[in-house]
Amino acid sequence: MDHFLYRDGVLHAEDVPVPGIAAEVGTPFYCYSTATLERHYSLFVEALGGLNCLICYAVKANSNLAVLRTLARLGSGADVVSEGEFRRALAAGIPGERIIFSGVGKTRRELQFALENNVRQINVESEPELHLLNEVALAMGVVAPMSMRVNPDVDAKTHEKISTGKAENKFGIAYEDAPRLYRVAADMAGIDVLGIDMHIGSQLTDLAPYEQAYVLMRDLVERLEADGIPIPRLDLGGGLGVPYTRDNQPPPLPFDYGAMVRRVFAGMEDREFEIEPGRLIAANSGILVASTVYVKENAGRRFLILDAAMNDLIRPALYDAWHDIEPVIEAEASAPKTTFDVVGPICESGDTFAKQRPMPNISQNDLVFFRSAGAYGAVMASEYNTRPPAPEVIVSGDRFAIARPRLTYDDILAKDVIPDWLGEAGPSED
């Protein structure tokens, strides 16, 4: 469900006509819906109602401060993977006590920063990290709240670049090695062993891999507690998928997920639970709006050349990802369709959003929009080809605000520094 709907043939973001935003902001731009963010967060609250569960939004999915603030006001925590994301969560009003710090390469500085800011827990992903965390905590005179990310070697059956729970992936501690490391951690003066964390991948469209991993998690809890190591907290990770095309079978709903969690962990309801959804909260809460620069025919193919590019939305180039692409002005249901290659202006053949996509006829200067672009869209943008990334807008009811303005070329150029020995910039010398 989202709040991007046609009214009288014109796409609206909640109660705001999208062409009006385009006229003021220019294209391309991202647009986020407050109502959709709130609705998707509430689905998890309802699905896991009755459990002592903290929902920690995965900041990497969309780190815009307006998005984070919207979720913070609902009581959301945050799952972060860098000091920068930690600082964003704090700036949006999410206190350290509701922030989980994940990631395979946390530095000494990042661990210290997290402990200084009362982090809820640090998800340790390797033995060297465990020893470094203990060292940092002892030097600071504190005890570090620690959960260990355990890799269950479960195939999430998702794209290889977003799979995280197989033995060959870089994430977590091998399941068979976990009991030994928990015993090591339990003997460390700077470590407070709190829980187990498992996250097996992103864009999961089947609950079976989750259940397989959670059964292993439960077994590990029972083994550790039999060994005298209490595990009061279970971090279930994130990864529930979204329907990127409305024609496909929808992925499992949060309610189905919640029922599975209760079934697997029956009898353990006295624990603290944590989940880390990102994509399912953010993806359908955002769209990318672009203008058609040219319609080009070449060797029997028709190309829809947009002013948005792979620097704005890299998912199709990186993951072969699908996004529904539709006109902002609704086409008649009976309107004939034309097959387009939808591309951007970057000097790369990979700057392609869709190949041979049947769409209503689109003309030069028409507006189009990409659905389900709120996750891993703007947050992965770059300035490739010295293109200012698309600005970000957030809508609430009949209001909208620019949540991240478009950079100017002067903003981009000002970030570079020419060394003194190269002299003043100017016309080249013969």
31 catalytic? Reply is no
pLDDT at residue number 206 = 86
Q: How far apart are CA 315 and CA 320, in angstroms?
A: 7
The predicted-structure confidence for 77-97, as pLDDT tens digits, reads as follows 999 999 999 999 999 999 999
In whole angstroms, what is the distance from residue 60 CA to residue 260 CA?
26
In this prediction, residue 422 carries a pLDDT of 95
CATH class of the domain at 4-31+284-413: mainly beta
**What are all long-range contacts of 340-344, with beta carbons under 8 Å and residues at least 24 apart?**
340/302, 340/303, 340/304, 341/301, 341/302, 341/303, 341/304, 342/303, 342/304, 342/306, 342/368, 343/303, 343/304, 343/305, 343/306, 344/305, 344/306, 344/307, 344/308, 344/309, 344/310, 344/311, 344/312
pTM above 0.85, yes or no: yes
Cβ density class 348-385: b for 16+ within 10 Å, e for less: eeebbbbeebebbebeeebbbbbbbbbbbbbbbbeebe
Angle between helices 65-72 and 34-47 (to 10 degrees): 40
Domain residue extents for the chain: 4-31+284-413, 103-275
Length of the chain: 430
Identify the three-state secondary structure at position 183.
helix
Specify whether the CB–CB gap between 207 and 257 falls below 8 A: yes
Query: What integer pLDDT is reported at residue 159 of this predicted model?
Result: 45
pLDDT at 200: 84
Q: At what angle do helices 34-47 and 254-264 cross, to 10 degrees?
A: 30
Strand pairing report for 325-327 and 301-306:
unpaired
Q: Which of 31, 53, 56, 347 is catalytic?
A: 347
Copy the structure tokens of residue 45: 């609250």
Query: Which residues, given as ranges, of the chain have pLDDT below 70?
Result: 1, 155-171, 246-249, 426-430
Output the CATH code of domain 103-275: 3.20.20.10
Instruction: Look at residues 263, 162, 177 and name the one whose alpha carbon lies nearest to residue 220.
Output: 177
Sign of the CA dihedral 206, 210, 213, 215?
negative
pLDDT of residue 273: 97
Query: How deeply is 69 buried, as exposed, middle or buried, from its count of CB atoms within 10 A (0-12, 13-18, 19+)?
Result: middle
Q: Hey, which residues does 360 pair with through a beta bridge? A: 337
pLDDT attached to residue 201: 80
Q: Which of 286, 305, 407, 318 is closest to 346 using CA atoms?
A: 305
